[in-house]
Amino acid sequence: MEGQVKIGKYVALYGGVHFVILLGAELFFAFFEIESNSGMSVGAIIGSAMFVSIKFIKDNKRPPNKEEKYNLVLMSLLASWVVSFLLLGVFALVFGQVAQIIDFIKSINIFVLLGIFLFVCVLYFLVLLLSYGYLARKQYEGMAKKGNI
């Protein structure tokens, strides 16, 4: 039986990569005055998770096992929300939009807000599950075939 890998460093790496990707994308979109959308967030999650999966595979010579995968998924989901709220707060402060964001949140029905949050959580969870599961196994197979591990 393979030993359990402590995933703390991988979750921290995920959070850092996710922060850099989101910040870079938002700055790029702001510079070119392009409206960003939720697809950018999903792309950032996939990119961050695949970066972490490759690092995990290189370090451990295998993809995450079932327990590691679920821990990575749950902790990465939490890290995604922390990074998103952190960036929202920073941008709100920098651009002086704090009052407008608070007013917008107050104007939305609490059940609609919870529904949106739940929907996004499920979507992020499924994307992370796919990234740390199927896609990580495919990445491992490709790396093994090329002799990179």
Instruction: Give the pLDDT of residue 1.
Output: 45
Domain ranges of the chain: 8-146
Mean pLDDT of 97-103: 86
pLDDT score of 6 more than 50: yes
Place 2 in a pLDDT band, splitting at 50, 70 and 90. Answer: low
pLDDT tens-digit map of 104-139: 888 989 999 899 999 999 999 999 999 999 999 999
Q: Whose CA is closest to 30, among 15, 40, 45, 43?
A: 40
pLDDT tens-digit map of 55-94: 999 999 999 999 999 999 999 999 999 999 999 888 888 8
